[in-house]
Protein backbone atom coordinates (compact mmCIF):
# COMPACT_ATOMS: atom_id res chain seq x y z
CA UNK A 1 0.00 0.00 0.00
CA UNK A 2 1.15 3.50 -0.80
CA UNK A 3 2.18 5.47 2.25
CA UNK A 4 0.12 8.56 2.77
CA UNK A 5 1.54 11.87 1.68
CA UNK A 6 1.98 13.23 5.21
CA UNK A 7 4.16 10.24 6.16
CA UNK A 8 6.21 10.55 2.98
CA UNK A 9 6.85 14.23 3.69
CA UNK A 10 7.69 13.55 7.35
CA UNK A 11 10.29 11.01 6.27
CA UNK A 12 11.74 13.42 3.70
CA UNK A 13 12.20 16.11 6.38
CA UNK A 14 13.67 13.67 8.91
CA UNK A 15 16.16 12.42 6.30
CA UNK A 16 17.23 16.02 5.59
CA UNK A 17 17.80 16.56 9.34
CA UNK A 18 19.96 13.41 9.50
CA UNK A 19 22.33 14.58 6.76
CA UNK A 20 25.72 15.79 8.01
CA UNK A 21 25.10 18.98 6.02
CA UNK A 22 22.02 19.86 8.12
CA UNK A 23 22.58 23.38 9.44
CA UNK A 24 21.00 22.53 12.80
CA UNK A 25 22.02 18.90 13.13
CA UNK A 26 19.49 16.17 13.84
CA UNK A 27 18.27 17.75 17.09
CA UNK A 28 15.97 20.15 15.28
CA UNK A 29 13.87 17.17 14.23
CA UNK A 30 12.82 15.87 17.69
CA UNK A 31 13.06 19.24 19.44
CA UNK A 32 11.32 21.38 16.85
CA UNK A 33 9.64 19.68 13.89
CA UNK A 34 7.97 16.96 15.95
CA UNK A 35 6.61 19.56 18.38
CA UNK A 36 5.39 21.94 15.67
CA UNK A 37 3.62 18.99 14.06
CA UNK A 38 2.09 17.92 17.37
CA UNK A 39 0.66 21.36 18.17
CA UNK A 40 -0.41 22.03 14.58
CA UNK A 41 -2.41 18.82 14.43
CA UNK A 42 -3.94 19.41 17.84
CA UNK A 43 -5.03 22.96 16.92
CA UNK A 44 -6.30 21.86 13.49
CA UNK A 45 -8.48 19.15 15.00
CA UNK A 46 -9.72 21.41 17.77
CA UNK A 47 -10.59 24.32 15.48
CA UNK A 48 -11.80 22.31 12.48
CA UNK A 49 -9.10 23.36 10.07
CA UNK A 50 -7.79 21.20 7.21
CA UNK A 51 -5.60 18.73 9.12
CA UNK A 52 -3.68 17.44 6.08
CA UNK A 53 -2.69 20.94 4.90
CA UNK A 54 -1.59 21.86 8.42
CA UNK A 55 0.40 18.64 8.91
CA UNK A 56 2.25 19.05 5.62
CA UNK A 57 3.04 22.69 6.35
CA UNK A 58 4.22 21.80 9.87
CA UNK A 59 6.73 19.25 8.56
CA UNK A 60 7.93 21.52 5.77
CA UNK A 61 7.86 25.00 7.32
CA UNK A 62 11.57 25.12 8.29
CA UNK A 63 13.03 22.65 5.80
CA UNK A 64 14.81 25.49 3.96
CA UNK A 65 16.67 26.52 7.10
CA UNK A 66 18.17 23.04 7.41
CA UNK A 67 19.42 23.01 3.86
CA UNK A 68 20.29 26.68 3.28
CA UNK A 69 20.27 28.41 6.70
CA UNK A 70 17.89 30.71 8.49
CA UNK A 71 17.86 33.72 6.12
CA UNK A 72 14.70 33.83 4.03
CA UNK A 73 13.87 30.32 5.15
CA UNK A 74 10.14 30.94 4.63
CA UNK A 75 10.90 31.43 0.92
CA UNK A 76 13.36 28.55 0.56
CA UNK A 77 11.06 26.21 2.51
CA UNK A 78 8.07 27.11 0.30
CA UNK A 79 10.12 26.41 -2.81
CA UNK A 80 11.28 23.01 -1.56
CA UNK A 81 7.72 22.18 -0.47
CA UNK A 82 6.35 22.98 -3.92
CA UNK A 83 8.95 20.82 -5.67
CA UNK A 84 8.56 17.87 -3.32
CA UNK A 85 4.73 17.91 -3.28
CA UNK A 86 4.63 18.18 -7.09
CA UNK A 87 6.84 15.11 -7.33
CA UNK A 88 4.29 13.28 -5.19
CA UNK A 89 1.46 14.43 -7.51
CA UNK A 90 -0.22 16.54 -4.87
CA UNK A 91 -2.86 18.87 -6.30
CA UNK A 92 -1.82 22.36 -7.35
CA UNK A 93 -4.58 23.99 -5.32
CA UNK A 94 -3.53 22.19 -2.12
CA UNK A 95 0.16 22.93 -2.76
CA UNK A 96 -0.73 26.64 -2.79
CA UNK A 97 -2.51 26.30 0.55
CA UNK A 98 0.50 24.54 2.11
CA UNK A 99 2.80 27.20 0.69
CA UNK A 100 0.65 29.99 2.14
CA UNK A 101 1.18 28.52 5.64
CA UNK A 102 4.93 28.20 5.12
CA UNK A 103 5.37 31.67 3.62
CA UNK A 104 3.56 33.29 6.54
CA UNK A 105 4.73 31.32 9.57
CA UNK A 106 7.33 33.83 10.76
CA UNK A 107 6.55 36.60 13.24
CA UNK A 108 7.42 39.20 10.60
CA UNK A 109 4.56 37.93 8.40
CA UNK A 110 2.00 38.47 11.15
CA UNK A 111 -0.57 40.38 9.11
CA UNK A 112 -0.39 38.40 5.91
CA UNK A 113 -2.01 35.20 7.15
CA UNK A 114 -5.17 34.64 5.19
CA UNK A 115 -6.15 31.15 6.29
CA UNK A 116 -6.94 29.42 9.55
CA UNK A 117 -4.31 26.84 8.63
CA UNK A 118 -1.59 29.53 8.33
CA UNK A 119 -2.48 30.97 11.75
CA UNK A 120 -2.33 27.47 13.26
CA UNK A 121 1.16 26.69 11.96
CA UNK A 122 2.44 30.07 13.17
CA UNK A 123 0.86 29.51 16.59
CA UNK A 124 2.29 25.98 16.83
CA UNK A 125 5.76 27.24 15.89
CA UNK A 126 5.71 29.76 18.77
CA UNK A 127 4.11 27.29 21.21
CA UNK A 128 7.05 24.89 20.86
CA UNK A 129 9.30 27.34 22.72
CA UNK A 130 7.51 26.35 25.92
CA UNK A 131 8.51 22.70 25.39
CA UNK A 132 12.11 23.49 24.60
CA UNK A 133 13.29 25.91 27.27
CA UNK A 134 16.60 24.03 27.54
CA UNK A 135 17.16 24.75 23.83
CA UNK A 136 16.68 28.49 24.30
CA UNK A 137 19.11 28.40 27.25
CA UNK A 138 21.60 26.47 25.13
CA UNK A 139 21.43 29.10 22.39
CA UNK A 140 21.96 31.93 24.91
CA UNK A 141 24.99 30.25 26.56
CA UNK A 142 26.57 28.66 23.53
CA UNK A 143 25.91 31.00 20.62
CA UNK A 144 25.51 34.33 22.39
CA UNK A 145 27.98 33.80 25.26
CA UNK A 146 25.54 35.08 27.86
CA UNK A 147 26.14 34.61 31.58
CA UNK A 148 23.53 32.95 33.79
CA UNK A 149 21.56 36.08 34.69
CA UNK A 150 21.56 37.37 31.11
CA UNK A 151 20.49 34.00 29.78
CA UNK A 152 17.61 33.81 32.23
CA UNK A 153 16.39 37.30 31.19
CA UNK A 154 16.72 36.38 27.54
CA UNK A 155 14.73 33.16 27.90
CA UNK A 156 12.00 34.92 29.86
CA UNK A 157 11.74 37.73 27.29
CA UNK A 158 11.61 35.28 24.41
CA UNK A 159 8.80 33.32 26.04
CA UNK A 160 6.84 36.53 26.71
CA UNK A 161 7.24 37.55 23.05
CA UNK A 162 6.12 34.11 21.87
CA UNK A 163 3.10 34.17 24.14
CA UNK A 164 2.06 37.66 23.03
CA UNK A 165 2.16 36.88 19.34
CA UNK A 166 -0.03 33.77 19.30
CA UNK A 167 -3.83 33.69 19.02
CA UNK A 168 -5.93 33.71 22.19
CA UNK A 169 -6.95 30.06 21.53
CA UNK A 170 -3.29 29.02 21.49
CA UNK A 171 -2.60 31.17 24.57
CA UNK A 172 -5.30 29.30 26.48
CA UNK A 173 -3.73 25.95 25.63
CA UNK A 174 -0.22 26.94 26.63
CA UNK A 175 -1.12 29.11 29.64
CA UNK A 176 -0.13 26.60 32.39
CA UNK A 177 3.35 26.29 30.86
CA UNK A 178 3.61 30.05 30.41
CA UNK A 179 2.70 30.65 34.06
CA UNK A 180 5.11 27.97 35.24
CA UNK A 181 7.94 29.45 33.18
CA UNK A 182 7.28 32.97 34.50
CA UNK A 183 7.32 31.64 38.07
CA UNK A 184 10.64 29.85 37.56
CA UNK A 185 12.39 32.55 35.54
CA UNK A 186 11.45 35.56 37.64
FE1 LIG B 1 9.79 26.61 13.11
pLDDT at position 1 = 44
Residue 69: pLDDT over 60:
yes
- The predicted model scores a pTM of 0.91
Angstrom CA distances, 60 to 8, 46, 107, 134, stand at 11, 21, 17, 24
Distance 54 CA to ligand 1 centre (A): 13
> Can you tell me the distance from the alpha carbon of 174 to that of 180, in angstroms, rounded to the nearest whole number?
10
Sequence-ordered list of residues with C-beta below 8 angstroms from that of 115, at least 6 positions apart, any chain = 97, 100, 101
Ligand 1 center to 100 CA (angstroms): 15
Residue 38 has pLDDT above 90, yes or no: yes
> How far is ligand 1, taken at its centre, from the CA of residue 127, in Å?
10
Burial 75-97 (b: 16+ CB within 10 A, else e): ebbbbbbbebbeeeebeeeebeb
In the chain, where the domains are located: 5-184
Ligand 1 centre to CA of 164 (Å) is 17
Rounded distance from Cα 13 to ligand 1 centre (Å): 13
Q: Which long-range contacts (CB under 8 A, 24 or more apart) does 135-143 make?
A: 135/27, 135/31, 135/32
- Taking the centre of ligand 1 as the mean of its atom positions, its distance from the CA of residue 179, in whole angstroms, is 22
Tell me the mean pLDDT in the region 51-74.
Answer: 95
Architecture of the 5-184 domain: Orthogonal Bundle (1.10)
- CB-count exposure of residue 51 (10 Å: 0-12, 13-18, 19+): middle
Amino acid sequence: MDENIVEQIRKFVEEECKKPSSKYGYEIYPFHFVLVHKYSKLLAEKFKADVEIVELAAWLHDVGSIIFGRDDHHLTSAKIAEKKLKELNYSKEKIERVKHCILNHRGSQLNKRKSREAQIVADADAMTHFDNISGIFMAAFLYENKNQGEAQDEVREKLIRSYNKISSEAQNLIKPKYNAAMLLLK
